[in-house]
């Protein structure tokens, strides 16, 4: 119960390295996207890089953009690799989600991390297209020195989540010339069980295309890890040639869209690390609310 963004990022990255089968010293960039970094001034990325053996020659930064901080890192990592600046780049989306006691957020707040290593060879999946859409939308925020975030309730839906996810999704479909029917899987940011299903329907995807990556009903909302973790569950089952559609969302607000094509290498390395749904189903550890509140520091004790 005492996990934080860094400890989960380390565990997720160890699994990513098992599948990538590379020396960590070859990683030239390390990015951690989160809205719950353990330190306000001390990068999560340096701790992660040291823990996996990627120091000292690696560009490192922490990203923040509410729940799409993870895909921000993914976009920058793949861009650096594509530009030839680094041989490999690592991007992690991780969070210990925050919600005030009694707030609607607390019901679905969860903790998790997804880690991806980007390179130019031996790919498990190729990024074919990316697209982004953002506006200044104050749907969710937390000011300096505030312990819990605040949000606009239903305002977080139509003008925030749906506007940005649908706009980013439509944009990447137009850019690629592909149709929803061309994809085997689709995954969206999952703040609850209802929103991603509606977003998929608005874009023309079927429930069957969404089911594999839909983890929120078992896992909850992992904020920056949400859509990236859904992608890991899809990659656990995807076959060579399958197309995957992913759109994240971060309050404030914006969405990053990606189109992936799975390669034949997926079958060679898929079983080298535990699969996502295995971790959810077989490694359950139940906590009572008191223990949860203690470790999330919702009980503020005297110094």
Q: Calculate ∠ Cα 70-256-203, nearest 5°.
A: 130
Identified catalytic residue from 131, 151, 164, 189 = 189
Give the residue, 1 or 240, on which the prediction is more confident. Answer: 240
**Distance of alpha carbon 222 from alpha carbon 279, whole angstroms:** 15
Residue 98 has pLDDT above 70, yes or no: yes
**Distance of alpha carbon 141 from alpha carbon 148, whole angstroms:** 9
Residue 113 has pLDDT above 90, yes or no: yes
Residue 68 has pLDDT above 80, yes or no: yes
Tell me what pLDDT residue 143 has. Answer: 81
**Distance of alpha carbon 301 from alpha carbon 6, whole angstroms:** 24
Walk across the sheet containing 252-262 and list its strands.
125-137, 252-262, 243-247, 185-188
Residue 303 has pLDDT above 60, yes or no: no
**Distance of alpha carbon 121 from alpha carbon 124, whole angstroms:** 9
Tell me what pLDDT residue 186 has. Answer: 99
Residue 268 CB partners (closer than 8 Å, separation 6+): none
Q: How confident is the model at residue 214 (pLDDT cuts 50, 70, 90)?
A: very high
Identified catalytic residue from 35, 37, 106, 151 = 35
| 291-301 average pLDDT score | 80
| 44-63 average pLDDT score | 98
Counting Cα atoms < 13 Å in the Cβ hemisphere of 232 gives: 27
Name the token pair of 198: 């509606």
Residue 157 has pLDDT above 70, yes or no: no
Q: How confident is the model at residue 301 (pLDDT cuts 50, 70, 90)?
A: low
Tell me what pLDDT residue 147 has. Answer: 79
Q: How many Cβ atoms sit within 10 Å of the Cβ of residue 178?
A: 16
Could you read off the pLDDT of 7-46 as tens digits, one per residue?
999 999 999 999 999 999 999 999 999 999 999 999 999 9
Bridge partners, 118 (sequence order): 89
Give the residue, 260 or 147, on which the prediction is more confident. Answer: 260
In 3D space, the residue among 246, 128, 232 whose CA is nearest the CA of residue 185 turns out to be 246
**Distance of alpha carbon 214 from alpha carbon 219, whole angstroms:** 9
Task: Walk me through the domains of the chain, giving residue ranges and CATH numbers.
Answer: 5-123+286-295 (3.40.47.10), 125-267 (3.40.47.10)
**Distance of alpha carbon 192 from alpha carbon 105, whole angstroms:** 9
Question: Would you call 189 a catalytic residue per the annotation?
Answer: yes
Question: Would you call 67 a catalytic residue per the annotation?
Answer: yes
Q: How confident is the model at residue 80 (pLDDT cuts 50, 70, 90)?
A: very high
| 122-127 average pLDDT score | 98
Tell me what pLDDT residue 155 has. Answer: 65
Could you read off the pLDDT of 227-241 as tens digits, one per residue?
999 999 999 999 999
Question: Could you tell me where the DSSP H helices lie in the chain?
Answer: 5-20, 44-52, 69-83, 104-108, 163-176, 195-203, 207-211, 216-219, 226-235, 266-269, 276-282, 289-295
Identified catalytic residue from 37, 67, 72, 151 = 67
Name the token pair of 295: 């470790």
Percent of the chain at pLDDT > 70 equals: 97
**Distance of alpha carbon 227 from alpha carbon 213, whole angstroms:** 8
**Distance of alpha carbon 250 from alpha carbon 72, whole angstroms:** 10
Could you read off the pLDDT of 183-208 as tens digits, one per residue?
999 999 999 999 999 999 999 999 99
- Please check whether residue 240 is in contact with residue 266, taking contact to mean a CB–CB distance below 8 angstroms: yes
Tell me what pLDDT residue 128 has. Answer: 99
**Distance of alpha carbon 33 from alpha carbon 73, whole angstroms:** 6
Range name among 77-81, 96-100, 173-177 with the lowest pLDDT average: 96-100
């Amino acid at each position: 119960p005492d996990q934080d963004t860094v400890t989960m990022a380390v565990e997720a990255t160890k699994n990513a390295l098992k599948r990538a089968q590379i020396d960590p010293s070859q990683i030239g960039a390390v990015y951690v996207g989160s809205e719950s970094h353990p330190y306000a001034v001390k990068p999560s990325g340096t701790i992660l890089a040291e823990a996996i053996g990627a120091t000292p020659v690696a560009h490192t930064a922490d990203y923040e953009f509410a729940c799409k901080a993870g895909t921000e890192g993914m976009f920058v990592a793949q861009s650096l690799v594509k530009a030839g600046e680094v041989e490999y780049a690592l991007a992690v989306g991780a969070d210990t989600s925050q919600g005030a006691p009694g707030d609607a957020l607390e019901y679905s707040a969860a903790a998790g991390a997804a880690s991806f290593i980007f390179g130019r060879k031996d790919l498990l999946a190729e990024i074919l297209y990316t697209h982004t859409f953002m506006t200044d939308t104050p749907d969710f925020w937390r000011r300096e020195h505030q312990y819990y975030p605040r949000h606009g309730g239903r305002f977080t839906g139509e003008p925030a989540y749906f506007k940005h996810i649908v706009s980013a999704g439509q944009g990447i479909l137009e850019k690629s010339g592909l149709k929803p029917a061309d994809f085997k899987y689709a995954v969206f940011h999952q703040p609850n069980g209802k929103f991603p299903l509606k977003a998929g329907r608005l874009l023309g995807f079927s429930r069957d295309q969404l089911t594999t990556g839909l983890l929120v009903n078992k896992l909850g909302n992992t904020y920056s890890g949400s859509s990236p973790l859904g992608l890991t569950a899809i990659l656990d089952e995807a076959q060579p040639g399958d197309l995957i559609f992913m759109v994240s969302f971060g309050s404030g607000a914006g969405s990053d869209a990606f189109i992936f094509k799975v390669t034949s290498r997926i079958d060679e390395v898929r079983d080298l690390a535990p699969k996502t749904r295995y971790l959810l189903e077989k490694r359950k550890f139940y906590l009572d609310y008191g223990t949860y509140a203690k470790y999330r520091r919702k009980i503020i004790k005297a110094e």
